[in-house]
Amino acid sequence: MKKILRSSILAAVFSLLFYTTTPELRAQQMKRPTIVMLSGAKLYESEKSLTQFKDYLENNFPLTTILIKNTDKTNLPNLELLKYSDLAVIFIRRMTLKEDQIESIRTFIEQGKPVVAIRTASHAFENWKEFDSEVLGGNYHGHYDKDRHPTIRQEPKNKNHPILKDVNSGFVSKGSMYKTSPLKQGTEVLLNGKINGEKPEPIAWTHLFKNSRVFYTSLGHPDDFNNDSFRNLLVNAIYWGLNQPKPDQFKVIPPTDLGPEQFAKLLMVSKRKILLDVRTPKEIEEEGFIKGMFAINIYDQSFKTKVIILDRNTPVFVYCKSGGRSSKACSILQELKFKEVYNLDGGITAWKATGKPVELKP
């Protein structure tokens, strides 16, 4: 019963990607990358750190993120979500996964999907120990004393690599320095770590596994996730893995109330837009709707979950019956860092009162 319920929930979540009346909006939504984060490193508080990083990503970049948490040392549930994902972030430590779960991860990577691996991912799987050398290009063989904190510096010859943008040299990690050299041939070192009296060790690098872009860093102490350089490193690695330019962080403009004339004019001239109707299905059926709308009932308890899949860089035009609920919806969109939001003052009632057309059938 639980399996059936879980499958139904997953189907519902991904059906949201197609909950629209226009093919253009469907295509636009599908361009929004989906990132799955696999958490299973209790020693390093991976669940807490990845939850923090997940919130940071969704509040600042047009990404959909899903966090999968292990239930014990042998189980990562819901790995079927990898089928719908564009990139995997792996932060796991010494798990012995069931064979079908290992196969789900292996298949994802074999398909050429990118991976961003953090710290203990170098020894993530007890029953797939080759993952470190084969996929990550690494060579983990222990670590230095935990009280000796490494200073992190860019590899000079790769200082212009896009993953190193806004990643400063000279910061110190509170985590122990991993012993990782020599790396597999073909890796490209981006960061090195140095502690007194020891040779430098590679701290971050890229690797190509078949057609899969792979990034690994041995950083990942809980305090690293509060470091701007470390966060920039991970975000840059995600977009490098996706082979996409990193967009600017969201710059949110407060919602704007527009009368029907202004609303209609701006709606007409905007090439990229989302027209959001937040009324109930019954109201839409009885009162009609503006052509091209995308309907999400604001009374729906999963309203936030449904709107968060939309592209926050695209202008959103919101309306309801008289403007009250749409105003509330605009506040939620602002909270979710949608860049540009417009509210139809007076709602569809004012729209019809000025002679603007409505559709009566979907």
- What are the domain boundaries of the chain? 21-242, 256-353
CB 190 within 8 A of CB 246: no
Q: What's the CA gap between 174 and 48, in Å, rounded?
A: 17
- Residue 32 pLDDT: 76
What are the residue ranges of helices labelled H in the chain?
2-15, 23-30, 46-60, 99-110, 228-242, 260-269, 281-287, 303-307, 324-335, 347-353
Superfamily of domain 21-242: Class I glutamine amidotransferase (GATase) domain (3.40.50.880)
- Residue 248 pLDDT: 80
Superfamily of domain 256-353: Rhodanese-like domain (3.40.250.10)
256-353 matches 21-242 in CATH topology? no
Q: What is the mean pLDDT of each run of 10 residues along the chain (362 residues)?
A: 44 42 44 90 96 90 90 95 95 96 97 98 97 98 94 96 96 96 96 95 97 98 96 98 88 87 94 94 95 94 87 91 96 88 97 94 70
- Residue 362 pLDDT: 65
DSSP β-bridge partners for residue 107: none
Q: What's the CA gap between 16 and 20, in Å, rounded?
A: 8
- Residue 276 pLDDT: 96
